[in-house]
Amino acid sequence: MKKIVKNCLISFLLVGLFAVVFCATYLGINFLKFQSLPLNAEALSTPALSIAVFDSENKPTKEDNEFNGDFCSLESLHSYTPQAFISIEDKKFFEHKGLNYKRMVGAMISNLKSHSLKEGASTISQQLIKNTHLSGEKTFERKLKEMALTKKLERTFSKEEILESYLNIIFFGNNCYGLESASQYYFNKSAKDLTLAESCTLAGLIKSPSKYSPIHNPQNSIARRNLVLSEMEKDGHICAEQKIYAQNQPLTLNIQNKRVGSRLNTYSQCAIDEAAKILKLSPKQIAIGGFHIHTYQNSDKQTALCSAFDGVQIADSIDTAGIVIDSKNYAVTAYVGNSNFKLMDCRRQPASCLKPLLVYAPALNEGVVSPDTQILDEKITIGDYSPANVNKKYAGYMSVTDAVKNSVNIPAIKVLSYIGIDTGKQYAEKLGLEFDPQDDSYALALGGMTYGVNLKQLASAYTVFSNGGEFAEPKFVQFITDKNNKLVYVHHPNPQMVLRQDSAYLMTSILQETAKTGTARKLADIQNTEVAAKTGTVGKKNASGNTDAYNISFTPEEVTGIWFGNLSNQPQKIAGGNQPTEVAKAYIKSQTYQQTTFDVPSSVAEAKIDTLELEENHRLVLANPYAPERFTKTALFSRFNMPNEVSKNFAEIPEINAQSRVDGNQIVLSLSAQRHLVYEIYKNNILTQTISNKSGDVTIRLAFPEKECSVKIVASYGQNGIKSGLFDTKSFTKTKEFSLQKSTTTQQQPQKEWFI
């Protein structure tokens, strides 16, 4: 037994030794192979670069695509500024020769434990190479290239030159490349004037510009800044008093109004950011590599969208954005943003614009509701959640169409409860929306998300309706070529079916009503195309304004998404049905469309339903063939979700519940009326009154100068009765006749009662 164990151990050790030798040999060979990679000295020393971006007609876009060329020399900075970066990013920068082997071994052990490549252990020299020469993908091959080029970098440039290049190239978020650019943007000052606290804020930012953003995540930013200060004290760059003083400083940004001419929210910037994800390169590397980005931008639509915003009065404190998407080609044809911050990086609460995507379209697809399904609008409580309508009023039963077009909250929550939160989220996720694990409450029905969505995600999701239930993510970028004009990327949409065609059309028909008579009714006078729309508004409790306002409109050819808001969350006088809808209206009216009507799929059917049953019992049942027109309504259904019950109303002879008496010179008739019946009152065979649409007790008085007369009540369902050959009459009728005479003791006896 001992011999077997011993042999197994020896075998295991030999296999392990072979694996180590093999890996070392493989790494060594590839490392030597990558020694021949050229070092791009221009990429390391040129702060100003531009990216060629072209519109759909292959013309250069009019927007400025040059990277910030602001440069700061190492000598001009306070000593604590570069020391902050060294302490948090690469403590041994001046000691190692490009690679920190101790950190690399530690990172390798950590990666083996986590079965990932999360830990990089990159030095400042390696980060400089990665940001100027290589993609951001985490592979062993890229890491070996990085190591080889880093060794070549260290042999070519001094430590000071490397550090200076690093500080002028590194990305700080919000389109800021280089320390000078970041200092000007966040603090409105030159990098040479940065305080210790400000220097540490920027040094802490570069690890994750979104996570440690002083704009969007100030608490994370402060915590990271204070960590940098603590590391600087440990390294002996500052004393304890300096650390404590700086850590107690508030985070004070000074972002000036740079809206005019800002490159943060141009179509080109969005295309560059998208290309960076496609190529897995930083924008700086795209510029260095000489790539050409060809987009879907339509210059006429871009101009029209800008003009639509120009036609609406907008306060300086309000941020805005607009996007136009070609639904059929899944292409973003126009985009404009107006803010000090990059709006595409911001996720906002979508408000009621989420209802069609998460609640109603899924419910239609699941066969849970139809456009005319009745939902009781009432005060409800689900667990500890007590939602309310905006006006704190409840309207009783209403149709799904009315609930959507008037953006009523309670029906949306109820319908989500019918299909389930998970089902609603699964549909929305297939439309490109992203949810946090905490997004698991019924507040989702009202657009209450942990992080929200950006405008492109929200508008893109609405393309599913005009595309017959299919969805693919729309793109800014059509194709990309390298510096040798070789094609490296082409956008090939791959639409997936998310909704049935009938579900997509029924949702569209509901949203058409929203554009005609609902919250988006400012679109009602658009004549050049059919249009459907949904508005959304995010407000604060007891506030005198709102923080976000949307209009998402779509025609058979394109989607237009408009957002008004304020990233500081200060209430503004905005609402989805106001300014955003006015912009959408101006844009849509300015366009000429080839297809102007929505396609009706064969899986959508019309059927007449009994409105009496709908109003009294809130059920969708087919109208009886004998029902008068005034008690029927043509409704749209999916052929997979048709009502199969036929109403029993109007299929039987009407009943008359009436009494008569003589009161002096008057005949008094007491009638228990039913609203769906028409009553004709005859005196001596002469029609004197017609009563319709009355319910309950009705008193009728007739003049009675004679000594005797006959009074007749004829009840029918109306003028549009049976048209079959079963009966000769126009409708079921019933007659009740009274013979009356004056006497000291008045006698009233019904004489005849029959139907014809």
Q: For residues 417 and 435, give the distance between their C-alpha atoms in angstroms, rounded to a whole number.
A: 18
Distance of CA 161 to the CA centre of its chain: 46
Residue 347 in any domain: the answer is yes
Domain at 704, CATH number: 2.60.40
Residues 168 and 198 in one domain: yes
Give pLDDT, residue 97.
82
Residues 498 and 551 in one domain: yes
Give pLDDT, residue 115.
46
Half-sphere exposure of 428 (CA within 13 A, CB side): 31
H helices within 370-500, ranges in order? 400-405, 409-419, 421-430, 455-461, 463-466
Residues 93 and 153 in one domain: yes
Give pLDDT, residue 15.
56
Residue 440 in any domain: the answer is yes
Domain at 189, CATH number: 1.10.3810.10
Sign of CA dihedral 367, 370, 374, 375: positive
Residue 272 in any domain: the answer is no
Please identify every stretch of the chain with a pLDDT value under 70, giving residue numbers as ranges: 1-36, 38, 41-43, 45-49, 64-69, 98, 101-121, 135-140, 142, 256-262, 719-731, 744-756
Give pLDDT, residue 147.
80
Residues 584 and 615 in one domain: no
Residues 608 and 573 in one domain: no
Residues 382 and 496 in one domain: yes
Residues 196 and 331 in one domain: no
Residues 482 and 544 in one domain: yes
Residue 192 in any domain: the answer is yes
Residue 444 in any domain: the answer is yes
Residues 482 and 619 in one domain: no
Which of 230, 247, 264 delimits the end of a domain? Answer: 247
Give pLDDT, residue 107.
52
Strand 696-703, strand 374-377: pairing:
unpaired
Give pLDDT, residue 39.
75
Quote the tokens at residue 69: 């060329």
Contacts of 332 (CB under 8 A, 6+ apart): 267, 270, 295, 296, 297, 323, 324, 325, 326, 456, 474, 475, 476
Q: For residues 130 and 137, give the distance between their C-alpha atoms in angstroms, rounded to a whole number.
A: 10
Quote the tokens at residue 47: 């702060």
Residues 565 and 614 in one domain: no
SS3 of 665, please?
A: coil
Residue 374 in any domain: the answer is yes
Q: Give, in order, the Cα–Cα distances in Å from 267 to each of 88, 289, 363.
A: 35, 21, 36
> Which residue reads 């989607």 in tokens?
559
Contacts of 469 (CB under 8 A, 6+ apart): 497, 498, 499, 500, 501, 503, 504
Residues 141 and 4 in one domain: no
Which of 558, 589, 620 delimits the end of a domain? Answer: 589
Q: For residues 667 and 660, give the distance between their C-alpha atoms in angstroms, rounded to a whole number.
A: 7
Please report, as a single letter, which amino acid is at residue 361.
Answer: A
Residue 300 in any domain: the answer is no
Q: Give, in order, the Cα–Cα distances in Å from 346 to each of 270, 456, 568.
A: 13, 11, 12
Which of 222, 247, 272 delimits the end of a domain? Answer: 247
pTM over 0.75: yes
Quote the tokens at residue 686: 């002469």
Residue 61 in any domain: the answer is no
Give pLDDT, residue 68.
53
**In terms of residue numbers, what domain contains 493?**
324-589
Tally of domains within the chain: 5
Q: For residues 570 and 216, give the distance between their C-alpha atoms in angstroms, rounded to a whole number.
A: 14
Sign of CA dihedral 220, 225, 228, 233: negative
Q: For residues 19 and 7, give the distance between their C-alpha atoms in angstroms, rounded to a whole number.
A: 18
SS3 of 242, please?
A: helix
Give pLDDT, residue 756.
32
Q: For residues 348 and 569, give the distance between their C-alpha atoms in angstroms, rounded to a whole number.
A: 10
Domain at 565, CATH number: 3.40.710.10
Q: Are 549 and 539 in contact (CB under 8 A)?
A: no
Q: For residues 354 and 452, give the distance between their C-alpha atoms in angstroms, rounded to a whole number.
A: 10
Quote the tokens at residue 50: 């531009």
Q: Are 199 and 158 in contact (CB under 8 A)?
A: no
Please list the residues that pair with 682 across neighbouring strands: 687, 712
Give pLDDT, residue 281.
87
Residues 694 and 584 in one domain: no
Identify the H or E element spanning 552: strand 546-554
Extended strands (E) in 212-328: 292-295, 319-326
Q: Are 674 and 631 in contact (CB under 8 A)?
A: no
